[in-house]
Structure 1
Amino acid sequence: MAPQLPAAAVGTGDGSKDKKLRFEAASAARQHPYKEQQKYIYADAVCCARTWLGVCDGVSGVQKMGIAPDVLPRELLAQCQRLMDTTTREMNSAWVLSLLQDAFAATHAQGATTVLLACLDESQRVALITLGDCALLVLRPSNGDDLRCTFRSQRVMMGEKTPAQVLRLPHQITGEQKELMEDCRLDTVNVRHGDLLVLGSDGLFDNLSDEAITDILQKHCTQGDLEESPKHRNRPLVQQLPVLYKSRALPSQSQLQQSAIGLVEAAIQNVVMVADGSVPLVARGNPDDTTAIVALVVEEGKLPDSDSEVELHDVYPHAEALLAKGACADRGVCSAGWWGPVCCTSAHIDRDDNEESDQSGSDAQSDLRQPTHCTVS
C-alpha cells in the first residue's frame, strides 16, 4: 500500500502560530457487561496531555493465543509520551508520523492494537494519525451555544470488518516500521480556542451516531442562559451584546468529565442483546470496550472557564448588521431584529432563571472505570 500523504488542512480555524494552544481533557471507559462475562481483558488505553491525545484499542482476539491484549496498547502510548517529553524538535505533521514509528520500534510486547493520535503541531493545528477504527470529531460552538461538526476522521481498514492495526505476533512480525508508515492516515485539522474534540474507540463510534455524540456534548458542555446580573440588566441592549458573547463560559473540567461518562454510558446502552434460535444471545450493536476522551482546545494563558474569544459574528452572525440598521438620536444604535425594534435607551434582555440543571446519576458514574492511562516507568 502506498503511503497516504498528509491531507489538506480541514476546517475553518486561523491556525495562527502566535496563538499557543493546549488541551484540557477528561476521559471515561467501561467494558460492555457481555464482553466482561466472556472473561475478556479490558484492552483500551488512553493518554491525555497538554499538546497531544491518544487512544489505542487493543485487539482482544490475541487473548486466545495466550497474549495479554492490554500490554501493547499501554506500552505504545507510554513510548509516545516518552518521545514527546524528550524531543527538542518543533513538532510538525511529518514528525508525528516519525514519532509513532520510533515509539513502536521501542516497544517489546506482543499483541495488536489500533492507534489514534491527535497532536498540536507548531502551526497550532492538529496532526491526526489514524490506524484502524478509532475516530475523532471536532465540534465548534456557533450561533450561541449550538455545536456543529467541522471535522470527522476516516477509518483505515484492512477489510470490510477488519481494522488496520500495528501488531507483533509469534512467527508473524508484520508490524515493521515501513509497513506501519504505509498504513497510517495523516490529516491536518485546523482548530481554535473553544473547540471540543471527541476521541474514542470503535465501541463508542460503532454505537453512537455523530449526531448523538454532538447532542450529548450539547447537553453537558454548553451553557444555557447567562446568569442575570444587576450590573448588566439595566444596560442598553447595544452594550449588552458584547457582554453576551464575551461571557460565554467554556466547559469546566467537571463538564468534560460528565460528557465523557455520558458518551460511554449511552454507547453501552445502545447495544441490545437478543436471543436468536440456536445461539444464546446476539448483539445488536458492538458490545466492546468503550472509551471516550472529551478535550477542550484552550489558548495558553487562559483558564478553561475564562471568557471565550470567539468573534461576535461567529456567535451571532447577524448581530452587527442588525445593530447598524437603526440609529437613536440621543443614544446611538437601536436593535431591529431578534426581539423586534427596541430602543437602546430602555432595552434589557429577560432570562429564565428557573431552568432546571441536568444532573448525572451517581450509579452511572460509579460503574465507570477510569481508562488505562499510559505511564512511563
Structure 2
Amino acid sequence: MGVSDGVGGWAKYKEADPALYSRKLMHYASAELAKLDDFLESEYSADDYYAVDPKEVLQKSYDQTNKDVVAAKLLGSATALIAVLRDDELRIANLGDCGVLIIRNLEPLFRSEEQQHSFNFPFQLGTGSRDSPRDAQSFSVKIQEGDIVIMGSDGMFDNVFDEDVVDIIRKVLKKTGCTNHPSDVDPKKISDALLARAWEVAEDSRYGASPFQTRAIQEGLYFHGGKMDDVTVLTGVVRLSEDSPDRR
C-alpha cells in the first residue's frame, strides 16, 4: 500500500501540479512492485521479490517521476509512504508527514512519526527540495492475522487522534459482527468511517480539539479546531491466505 500527498504550497505557481507529482510517485512505485510480483517476466528474481526494500522502490519511482517532470517542465513536490508485506513482516518507508498506524487487539502496536524540517513543513520529494528517498525513515514490523493497518495523509492524522482511530475501528467491528474475528472485517468500512470523521473535524473550526491544534499550541501558535486539508485513508487487514503464489 502507498500514500503520497502533493504539497499544497505550490498552488500559487501556474506551472505547478503537486497532485500529478504525487500520483506519478505512486504509479511508478506500483509498477516497480508489479515487476517484482511477475519476476519471471522481468529482470528480477525470486530472491529480489523477498528482499524488496520499500526505500529502494521509492528511489526508483522518484527517479522515473523526475524524468517525466523535467520533460513536461512541471513544478511540484509530495510526501510519500510505502508499505510492503512479505510473509509476516511489514516493511515501511516514510518520507514526510503521511502516517501509518498498526492496530492489534484494539491496541496501537506501531505508529510512524512525522518527518518535518519545522512545524507544518514536511520532508518532501520534488522541485527545489534537498530531501531524497534516502532520507526516508525505514521500519520493519512483525505482524499477525487480525492486525489492522491504517495509512493516511496528514489530513487524516492531523484531524483524528490515534485513540479515536481505535475507537472508530472498535465501533465498525461491533457493527459488522467482527469483534471476535477482526480479520473478517471489510477494510473499506473502516476507511469510510475514518474518512468521515477526519472530514467532520476538518470542516469544523469550532471543534474542541485536533492533533494539529495540539501541535500548533505546542509551537506557540493560535489555532482552534480541525485543519482543512485533503484526506486520504487506506486500510489493510492481515489475513492468512491459502492461495499465496508459488514462488519456486
Task: Report the TM range for the smaller structure's normalisation.
Answer: 0.7 to 0.9
Alignment of 1:144-293 (within 5 A): 147-168=106-127, 172=128, 174=129, 179-222=131-174, 248=181, 250-253=183-186, 256-271=187-202, 272-273=204-205, 284-293=225-234
Q: Which residue number corresponds to residue 98 of structure 1?
A: 56
Taking a change above 3 Å as real, the CA distance of residues 182 and 220 of structure 1, as seen in their structure-2 partners, is: same
CA distance in structure 2 between the aligned counterparts of 1:249 and 1:285, rounded to whole angstroms: 30
Q: CA deviation at 1:127?
A: 0.8
Work out which of the residue numbers 57, 79, 85 in structure 2 matches 1:114.
79
Aligned to 1:72: 21
Aligned to 2:11: 63
Give me the TM-score of the superposition, normalised by structure 2: 0.76
* Equivalent residue number for residue 133 of structure 1: 97
Alpha-carbon separation, structure 2, partners of 1:92 and 1:189: 15
| Counterpart amino acid of residue 172 in structure 2 | H
Q: Distance in 2 between matches of 1:218 and 1:155?
A: 25
Structure 1 unpaired stretches of 5+ = 1-52, 142-146, 227-244, 275-281, 303-377
Alignment of 1:286-325 (within 5 A): 286-301=227-242
CA distance in 1, matches of 2:63, 2:23: 14
Kindly tell me the number of residue pairs found equivalent between the two proteins.
209
Q: Secondary structure at the match of 1:99?
A: helix
Task: Answer with 1 or 2: which has the greater Rg.
Answer: 1
The one-letter code of the counterpart of 1:139 is: I
1:297–1:64 CA distance, 2 compared to 1 (3 A): same
Q: Deviations over 1:210-266 (max 9, x none)?
A: 00000111111357879xxxxxxxxxxxxxxxxxx9x7363333xx22221111111
Contact 1:132 1:155 in 2 (8 A): yes
Matches of 2:95 and 2:238, distance apart in 1: 23
Q: Normalized per residue, which structure has more helix?
A: 2
Closer/same/farther in 2, CA of residues 248 and 264 from structure 1, 3 Å limit = closer
The percent of aligned pairs where both chains have the same amino acid is: 25
Q: Which of the pair has the greater relative contact order for Cα pairs under 8 Å at 6+ separation?
A: 1
Q: Distance in 2 between matches of 1:126 and 1:225?
A: 27
| Distance in 2 between residues matched to 1:136 and 1:118, nearest whole Å | 9
Structure 1 equivalent of residue 88 of structure 2:
124
Rounded to whole Å, the distance in 1 between the matches of 2:77 and 2:100 is: 21
CA RMSD of aligned residues (A): 2.5
Local SS of the residue matching 1:79: helix
Instruction: After TM superposition, give the deviation of residue 294 of structure 1 in Å.
Output: 1.3
Compute the TM-score of the two structures, normalised by the length of structure 1.
Answer: 0.51
